Amino acid sequence: MSTREAVVFAFIACGLFSVSVWSAALQRAWRLPSLVERLSRHDLSSSKIVTLVIVCFVLGIFYFLFMAAFDPHTVVASLLANRSGAAWSRNSAEGGWDAFVEHLSYFGMLLPALAISLGRKRGWFSPPALFAWVLALFYALFQVQGGNRRYLGVMLGAAIVVWLIAEDRPRWYHTVVLAISAAAVLYLMQFVLEYRFGGAEMITQAEEDVTLVDMSAIKVDDNFLRLAQTIYLVPNTEPYTWYEYALFALIRPIPRALWEGKPIAPSFRVQDFVEVGASLSSSVVGELYASGGLLAVFLGGWLYGRLGVWGEGLLGPPRTVPRNILYGAWLMALFAGCRSMQDLVMMSYVVLALLAVLWFILENSGLRTT
């Protein structure tokens, strides 16, 4: 359901969004909030990083344990089940009081970046670094079971960014490690896609001559097709949504228990017009176009560009662990935000989680920022 004209306009919209992002990025960056500057300028000792790791791990898995009634057998059974068979699986539209607890899971997404920071300070095979990686991998199991590919991408992507920017002089082997890491992440994404539908049975019942993960084609969202379909439908048959996508993204974290009449979704969704029984993403470009045409695409691209250079101040001196992790988390939140405005808001929770634990550890330990 599309036309040649819609496809042409889809290319135009993507190009306009890119031009707008770059034009905004060439302007002087906004100043970082004073709280971010104050908390990030104090470097962390190895012991403080270990404390951060423990705090983030406990808060990160608390939701899953809470939904499993803190029963180890239920936790294990849920980890082996498919996406809908876990004790913590729920309809995102329900928005009950447990939504508050669910937001704690974003703390765990900081674990790989913290493990990288510990490895640089104490050695990659030191007990603290290995301890951090064990906790990070255990937390990742919950995200794998839930099929949260973008969550895993943000987690691991932020860790890779932290590793790269922490190097004073990148060498040739950094490129090799980066390529291997990217390939490993792609493989993991494919594995997660299979696991979330079959659970542990996809492994135990796999035939000997069948490849566990088919890497002949990388499965990603068909965003461009959905973008073209959105352009075909809006405003020809459906009106512009104007502010609805932005508003829905901003109110997404608010539990329905606090707002009984909270909107479930914007008035236009491309999946309502195609024969696909699942949520579909037309990328942030599609959401912007549905909001107000090419003008909205340009303005939205400008905002993304401004947000992209907002974190430049974190790359300047002093070079500290908090600044590296904040930059990595913010960069990956923007990367995930290219899929949708909702993802930008939700992935920004990782940044807020780090600021929260930094404030708790630094301010309440009597330390003063420089």
CA dihedral 179, 329, 310, 20 (to 10 degrees): 60
Residue finishing a domain among 283, 298, 317 = 317
Of 84-93, 214-223, 307-316, the poorest mean pLDDT is in 214-223
Position 348 confidence tier, pLDDT thresholds 50, 70, 90: very high
- Show the tokens assigned to 354: 């780090």
Looking at the domain assignment, is residue 36 inside a domain?
no
Q: How far apart are CA 261 and CA 269, in angstroms?
A: 19
For the chain, how many structural domains are there in total? 2
- CB-based contact 307:345 (threshold 8 Å): no
Q: How far apart are CA 303 and CA 219, in angstroms?
A: 29
Report pLDDT for 42.
Answer: 86
Can you tell me the mean pLDDT for 273-295? 87
pLDDT exceeds 50 at position 369: no
My answer on whether 111 and 193 are in the same domain is yes
Looking at the domain assignment, is residue 192 inside a domain?
yes
Can you tell me the mean pLDDT for 60-86? 92
pLDDT exceeds 50 at position 370: no
Looking at the domain assignment, is residue 154 inside a domain?
yes
**Highest mean pLDDT, choosing among 124-138, 160-174, 183-197:** 124-138
Looking at the domain assignment, is residue 263 inside a domain?
yes
CA torsion sign for 318, 319, 320, 324 is: positive
> What is the pTM for the complete model shown?
0.88
Q: Which residue has the tokens 């949260």?
A: 148
pLDDT exceeds 70 at position 368: no
Cis previous bond, 318, omega within 30: yes
My answer on whether 140 and 171 are in the same domain is yes
Report pLDDT for 216.
Answer: 62
My answer on whether 234 and 245 are in the same domain is yes
| Amino acid of residue 61 | I
My answer on whether 334 and 364 are in the same domain is yes
My answer on whether 167 and 260 are in the same domain is no
Residue finishing a domain among 295, 317, 339 = 317
My answer on whether 198 and 236 are in the same domain is no
Q: Which residue has the tokens 């000997």?
A: 208
Looking at the domain assignment, is residue 216 inside a domain?
no
- Of 250, 302, 294, 243, nearest to 268 (Cα)? 243
**Higher pLDDT pick, 213 / 132:** 132
My answer on whether 90 and 192 are in the same domain is yes
My answer on whether 293 and 332 are in the same domain is no
DSSP string, 58-105: HHHHHHHHHHTTT-HHHHHHHHHS-TTSSTT---TTT--THHHHHGGG
**Higher pLDDT pick, 315 / 264:** 315
Q: How far is CA 47 from CA 5, 42, 132, 262, in A?
A: 59, 14, 12, 43
**Higher pLDDT pick, 252 / 157:** 157
Looking at the domain assignment, is residue 170 inside a domain?
yes
Can you tell me the mean pLDDT for 153-180? 87
My answer on whether 195 and 97 are in the same domain is yes
CA torsion sign for 42, 46, 51, 52 is: positive
pLDDT exceeds 60 at position 338: yes
My answer on whether 67 and 171 are in the same domain is yes
Residue range(s) defining the domain that contains residue 83: 42-206+319-370
Report pLDDT for 214.
Answer: 66
Report pLDDT for 265.
Answer: 82
CB-side exposure of 342: number of CA atoms within 13 Å?
18
- Show the tokens assigned to 194: 């299979």
Looking at the domain assignment, is residue 174 inside a domain?
yes
The three-state secondary structure class of 313 is helix
Maximal C-alpha separation, the chain: 64
Q: Which residue has the tokens 């907002």?
A: 310
My answer on whether 232 and 277 are in the same domain is yes
My answer on whether 56 and 145 are in the same domain is yes
Report pLDDT for 75.
Answer: 95
pLDDT exceeds 80 at position 175: yes
Looking at the domain assignment, is residue 146 inside a domain?
yes
Q: Which residue has the tokens 């993802």?
A: 343
Report pLDDT for 330.
Answer: 94
Residue finishing a domain among 300, 317, 334 = 317
Can you tell me the mean pLDDT for 211-232? 79
